[in-house]
Chains A and B, each alone.
Chain A
Amino acid sequence: MGLFSKLKNVLSKTRDGISKKLSALFARDRIGEDFYEELEDILISSDVSVKTTMEIVDEIRDTAIKEKCKDKDYVLSLLKTELFETLDYADKLEVKTPAVIMIVGVNGVGKTTTIGKLANKFVKEGKSVTIAAGDTFRAAAADQLAVWADRAKVKIVKHSEGADASAVVFDAIESCKARKTDVLIIDTAGRLHVKANLMEELKKMDRVTKREYPDANYYKLIVLDATTGQNAYNQVEVFNEAVGIDGIVLTKLDGTAKGGFIVSLSYELEVPVVYVGTGEKIDDIEDFDANEFVEALF
């Protein structure tokens, strides 16, 4: 299965949901206020925020009125274009070596699993990888990461539970410098973005990384769970404020959750989606492609 068909397969669940509603909507004759209101409902039920939904639909409504358009298919193509442009505004993030990738996010979104998948992906690309077990808080987090490191056959730097996370980062950087490792992936403890002290700890890890490894290309990715609702926005906003976010990894897209909040995120915060997690196996990670995403949606 090619990349496209695989993503499409995963997204078909999303697509089924939306397109069923859409075709029901398009079956009706007139384009009236009801039509646009239902268009709004469809986007909202994919977890696109109310604000973004209204803005996008308003824009389409204005265009349609201006062009005196009564054709529903044309309005749909307007919607697609608008969604695509919203998701595709940013330059694609390319990982240049030597690289440090710090993975952040709230609890339970799939950070550790994502790191396992990313490590495997980079190894397959012929890069050397080291993982830093920076989640020294959650019980057995380092053990879980070690299993993934083993599966991806990469080196892991870990300390004992309760150790200073920044010290783990420091050691991992030393090791990467000495071995000329291509990619260092740093795991961090899941933290709700409203916990100021934990956000301070994260800032410290960030400072240590910048100070100790200035030559590296440093990327900070936030992992978001596709089943999350509007809170995803707050998460990105606060993590972005704390350490600066370069991209999003959208996980658990293999369920029925639609992850529509990424539309709002791209629209309002201008943070690109970089990778998509599509399953529990080590290969279940793909580059995000806005075109595929929008196409697969409808």
Chain B
Amino acid sequence: MALFSGLSEKLNHIFSKLTKHGRLTELEIKTAMREVRIALLEADVNISVVKEFVSKVSERAVGQEILKNLNPTQQVIKIVNEEVIALMGSANSKLAVASTPPTVIMMAGLQGAGKTTLVGKLGMMLKKQGRKPLLVACDVYRPAAINQLKVVGEKAGCTVFEKGQGNPIKIAKEGVAHAKSYGFDTVIIDTAGRLQIDEELMKELEKIKEEVNPSEILLVVDSMTGQVAVEVADTFNKRLEVTGLVLTKLDGDTRGGATLSMKAVTGKPIKFCSVGEKLGDLEPFYPDRMANRILGMGDVLSLIEKAQEAVSEEEAKKMEKKFRENSFTLNDFLAQFETMKKMGGIKDILAMLPGMGGKMKVREENIDEKKMLSMKAVIQSMTMRERENPQIINSSRKNRIAKGSGTSVQEVNRVLKQFEQTKLMMKQMKNNRMFKF
């Protein structure tokens, strides 16, 4: 998919005829806004939200003087970006705590949004923060939902309160009472997935809310949701007055425009993002990063932050020098594996880079994380001289390396090819103007 970085390119094309400096004309803005509109729609932002947004941005852009350091494309993107971030609201908000424990957190959402898994993730996160959460199983409809929560709870090291397929309103109430008498300071209530138009089940949620008086009602939403996101969020919010949104399955390649729609229609903060299948894969929400993702400009900020965590400044400088001098060796390649591991794996990194969307798929086949281990073994079976001068690796050396690493000559060849590709990629990145943007 050529969605990523598409907007910048299209805008560049539109503005290519424009003289360097001057004011943006109405016609230019109109043409540019058509592309902005398409980009947002392709990202699944709801159409009415898009319209409102585009008219607001046009207003701001028309007649604006082009800033010294920016070209028109950058100028428009800057405005669009700022407006998207503004719409997305302030940075991550914390969970409310009840003045008298237990703090009750209630989940709501459509079927398959990922509520049960999220209950486990949230439980584990709170436990790490020193709290004592009780997970309450109120999804009595979906077959084996209770079992699923029990398994997830056990993995998260949290106690699960369940009463089988009973009345969910009663179970919720008993769960809170149980927490009070046994010293749990937080109660997380899992509920059944339901359609926002299912009157009976929506009433049930209202009743649970009435009974347990939750400090937080989190609407759990699949980040891949399309145009209907507006209606779902609006209905749940009107019925329950949700306190926040949680996005799930953000580890996929969705642009996540639904986030913008839901934020626009409910005005409620997005509290967390679920970014993987492991129970630790829960992150706070960063509006600026999400804006970049929706606009297809890559999550450069996240990448920079992750890189900072994983690589010390000194190391980074050293690496940069190597790129510049093109003296990148297999030893550096090996060191990179470690860095990548710290940064959350190559897939995450590639996904965050602008312009990498299309190429990502191909590369991923080659750089599977499991394969990384065997690649490491291959490099570690090379002598230091071989690692510094890979061109000396002839077939008899390859044989030895294959034996030493318990792999095959093909595997050794693959690693060498991979190394060359990486080297090339680095070179391209260095020259790529998108990084100067």
Contacts and interface: CB of A to CB of B under 8 A. Distances in A.
Interface in A229-262: 229-234, 237-238, 252, 254-258, 261
A180 B171 CA distance: 46
Contacts of B145: 140, 144
A172 interface: no
Contacts of B1: 233-234, 237
Name, among B226, B228, B252, the residue most crowded by chain A CB atoms within 10 Å (CB to CB). B226
A198 B429 CA distance: 29
A139 B151 contact: yes
A29 B47 CA distance: 24
Interface stretch (A1-9, A41-49, A91-99, A163-171): A41-49
Nearest to B193: A108
Nearest to B361: A238
B195 interface: yes
B369 interface: yes
Interface stretch (A189-197, A209-217, A290-298): A189-197
B371 to A, nearest CB: 9
A108 B196 contact: no
A130 to B, nearest CB: 18
A237 B360 CA distance: 14
B224 A228 contact: yes
B254 A229 contact: yes
Contacts of A49: 42
A118 to B, nearest CB: 16
A46 B370 CA distance: 40
Interface residues of A, number: 50
A193 B347 CA distance: 12
A19 interface: no
A225 interface: yes
Contacts of B360: 194
B249 A229 contact: no
Contacts of B114: 107-108
A197 B41 contact: no
Contact of B152 (A46, A137, A139, A257): A139
Contacts of A232: 224, 226
A141 B351 CA distance: 29
A252 B111 CA distance: 9
A230 B226 contact: yes
B406 interface: no
A280 to B, nearest CB: 8
Contact of A227 (B110, B347, B368): B110
B420 interface: no
Nearest to A112: B143
B44 interface: yes
B133 to A, nearest CB: 17
A200 B364 CA distance: 11
B195 to A, nearest CB: 5
Interface string B229-268: 1011000000000000000010111110110000000000
B148 A138 contact: yes
A286 interface: no
A108 B249 contact: yes
A143 interface: yes
A200 B151 contact: no
Please tell me the size bucket of the interface on B: 35 or more
Interface in A15-60: 41, 44-47, 49-50
A20 B368 CA distance: 49
B187 to A, nearest CB: 20
Given A144-B148, A255-B196, A196 B368 contact: yes
Contacts of B150: 139-140
Interface string B199-226: 0000000000000000000000010111
A110 interface: yes
Contacts of A138: 148
A256 B43 contact: no
A270 interface: no
A140 B144 contact: yes
B91 interface: no
A106 B225 CA distance: 13
Nearest to B120: A139
Given A196-B365, A229-B224, A255-B197, A110 B112 contact: yes
B138 interface: no
Contacts of B232: 227
Given A41-B47, A106-B252, A229 B227 contact: yes
Nearest to B148: A140
Contacts of B144: 140-141, 143-144, 146-147
Contacts of B257: 229
B64 interface: no
B252 A230 contact: no
B16 interface: no
B103 to A, nearest CB: 25
A184 interface: no
B147 interface: yes
Interface in B115-148: 141-145, 147-148
Name, among A110, A194, A229, the residue most crowded by chain B CB atoms within 10 Å (CB to CB). A229
A141 B117 CA distance: 12
Interface string A114-150: 0000000000000000000000011111011011100
Given A196-B347, A200-B368, A230 B111 contact: no
Contacts of B110: 227, 252, 255
Nearest to B224: A231
Contacts of B44: 47, 229-231
A106 B144 CA distance: 19
Contacts of A107: 112, 114, 249
B353 interface: no
B113 interface: yes
Given A140-B147, A194-B251, A234-B253, A227 B226 contact: yes
Contacts of A234: 1, 252-254
The list of the 9 closest CB pairs from A to B, nearest first, reads: A229-B226, A108-B112, A147-B143, A229-B44, A139-B151, A144-B144, A143-B144, A140-B147, A140-B148
26 contacts: A13-B197, A50-B38, A106-B252, A108-B112, A139-B152, A140-B151, A147-B143, A147-B144, A148-B143, A192-B251, A193-B252, A194-B252, A194-B347, A196-B347, A197-B370, A227-B225, A228-B224, A231-B44, A231-B255, A232-B224, A234-B1, A234-B254, A237-B1, A238-B361, A252-B195, A257-B227
Given A139-B147, A232-B224, A252-B195, 11 more contacts: A108-B113, A108-B114, A144-B142, A147-B144, A193-B253, A194-B252, A196-B347, A234-B1, A238-B361, A252-B110, A255-B196
